[in-house]
């Protein structure tokens, strides 16, 4: 659900010369996030498994992970609001010259 918008957001603001790098960073970040998320979920949900009553406690053991996911979701929404507000636009304007492609007629 979020892969296409994340990739579009990462690539759309970059000059064409840097679009591949932006796409690679977005893809790598996504893969690391998935790996860490699965490891965290397994650690939190698997902790009561060793007590011998794994089936009864497994569903309840996943509840802390769902609360963590909900908290991260709220954090993402807050960051999205902040980054698209006046402070985010001012930051974009300050660094825009660093992301512009050099003139085609200019020599290095």
Which of 9-13, 30-34, 46-50, 98-102 has the least mean pLDDT? 46-50
Residue range 48-89, pLDDT digits in tens = 555 555 556 677 777 888 888 899 889 988 988 888 888 878
pLDDT category, 90, cuts 50, 70, 90?
confident
- As separate numbers, helices (DSSP H) first and strands (DSSP E) second, the chain gives 5, 0
Looking at per-residue pLDDT, the higher value among 71 and 17 belongs to: 71
Is residue 1 over pLDDT 80? no
Both tokens of 96, joined, read 């825009």
**HEC-encoded secondary structure of 6-55:** HHHHHHHCCCHHHHHHHHHHHHHHHHHHHHHHHHHHHHHHHHHHHHCCHH
CB burial class (10 A; 0-12, 13-18, 19+) of residue 25?
middle
Looking at per-residue pLDDT, the higher value among 98 and 55 belongs to: 98
């Amino acid at each position: 659900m979020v892969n296409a918008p994340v990739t579009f957001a990462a690539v759309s603001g970059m000059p064409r010369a840097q679009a591949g790098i932006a796409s690679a960073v977005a893809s790598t970040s996504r893969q690391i996030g998935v790996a860490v998320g699965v490891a965290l979920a397994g650690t939190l949900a698997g902790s009561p498994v060793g007590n011998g009553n794994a089936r009864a406690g497994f569903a309840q053991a996943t509840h802390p992970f769902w609360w963590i996911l909900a908290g991260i979701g709220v954090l993402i929404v807050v960051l999205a609001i902040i980054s698209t507000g006046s402070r985010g636009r001012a930051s974009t304007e300050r660094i825009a010259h660093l992301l512009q492609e050099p003139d085609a007629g200019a020599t290095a």
